[in-house]
Amino acid sequence: TRVACPPPIRRQRRGISARRRLREFDVGDRFSRLPLPKASVLLPLTVRAGKLHLLLTVRAMQLRRSPGEVCFPGGKREAIDKDEIDTALREAKEEVGLQPEKVEVVCRLVPGIDKMNHVVTPVVGFIEDTFQATPNPDEVSDVFVVPLEYFVKPSNYKTLPYKTSSGYSGWMHCFIYDDHERKMSFKIWGLTAHFAVFLALVIFGKHPTFKVEYDLDNLISSAETNFMNLYASIYERKKSNL
């Protein structure tokens, strides 16, 4: 007969296999030398009630770019940052009061590109379940957590069309997450949703309930190919504008 593990051990095992999967997808510094401006986001993973959750923020309404949109703690690279991890940790401290030494950084995933053509690197890190965010009101109006599984098995999902300035068109994921405890709804879409879905695919290794832009049997290579195609369309346009 199989005996169920008591919760602490099960939690530990889940954490270990998630870390192992994430390390297989670590891109290290492979995309660090691309000649576009850089930004980083921190994808903070935390275990609540035995399940992995992601911490997200709502951008302050007075910000010039993307006010009121849901995003991960993060921002543009500054001269003092030695790499993408430094940027993500510095920004997370500035925006939600997360001390860098309280983050167990596991990997960097394949980057994305934002509206301003920054190469945005997602840095994945575990944070303690006791972490209490202190949002910096200049940049962040709210902080919330979503079960990671929601990004492969959502109850409220749609796609939105998009077109970039370089003429690249496609569709974006859009999740509506109802936080029943707080009686609030959050719209998670675009680049933020793109990173959350990829993270959930990496960790759970199973098919989502909606269509994704990857070959799920070759997740690493198809994610890199998608990124390089997008990057090439932007880079070619930048060159032709010179």
Ligand X SMILES: CCC(=O)SCCNC(=O)CCNC(=O)[C@H](O)C(C)(C)COP(=O)(O)OP(=O)(O)OC[C@H]1O[C@@H](n2cnc3c(N)ncnc32)[C@H](O)[C@@H]1OP(=O)(O)O
Residue 30 sits in the site that holds ligand X (CB under 6 A):
no
- Return the residue of 98, 118, 152, 173 that touches ligand X, per CB under 6 A: 118
CB-side exposure of 153: number of CA atoms within 13 Å? 7
The continuous run of DSSP H or E covering 197 comes out as helix 190-204
Site residues (CB under 5 A) for Mg ion? 75
Six-digit token string for 150: 């929601």
In the complex, what is the shortest distance from the CB of residue 232 to ligand X, in angstroms, rounded to a whole number?
A: 17
**Residue 14 or 76 having the CB closest to ligand X:** 76
- The contact mask relative to ligand X for 179-198 (x = CB under 6 A, - = no) is ----------xxxx------
In the complex, what is the shortest distance from the CB of residue 189 to ligand X, in angstroms, rounded to a whole number?
A: 5
What does DSSP say about strands 119-127 and 38-48: parallel, antiparallel, or unpaired? parallel
Residue 91 sits in the site that holds ligand X (CB under 6 A):
yes
| Rounded distance between C-alpha atoms, residue 234 and residue 121, angstroms | 17
Contact footprint for ligand X (CB under 6 A): 39, 41, 63-66, 69, 71, 74-76, 91, 114-115, 118, 120, 138-139, 189-192
